[in-house]
Chain A
Amino acid sequence: DQQVKQNSPSLSVQEGRISILNCDYTNSMFDYFLWYKKYPAEGPTFLISISSIKDKNEDGRFTVFLNKSAKHLSLHIVPSQPGDSAVYFCAASVVRSSNTGKLIFGQGTTLQVKP
Chain B
Amino acid sequence: DTAVSQTPKYLVTQMGNDKSIKCEQNLGHDTMYWYKQDSKKFLKIMFSYNNKELIINETVPNRFSPKSPDKAHLNLHINSLELGDSAVYFCASSLAGAHYNEQFFGPGTRLTVL
Contact = CB atoms under 8 A, between A and B. Distances in A.
Interface in B55-82: 55-56
A2 to B, nearest CB: 7
A103 to B, nearest CB: 6
B94 A101 contact: yes
Contacts, number: 67
Interface string B29-56: 0010100000011111100100000011
B26 to A, nearest CB: 15
A16 to B, nearest CB: 28
A87 B102 CA distance: 17
A61 interface: no
B73 to A, nearest CB: 17
Given A34-B102, A99-B100, A107-B40, A43 B90 contact: yes
Interface residues of A, number: 26
A36 B90 CA distance: 14
B4 A43 contact: yes
Contact of A44 (B40, B42, B44, B90): B90
Contacts of A91: 101
A73 B101 CA distance: 17
A43 B45 contact: no
Interface of A: 2, 32, 34, 36, 41-46, 49, 87, 89, 91, 93, 95, 99-108
Interface of B: 4, 31, 33, 40-45, 48, 55-56, 90, 92, 94, 96-97, 100-108
Q: Closest 3 A-B residue pairs measured CB to CB? A: A43-B105, A101-B100, A105-B43
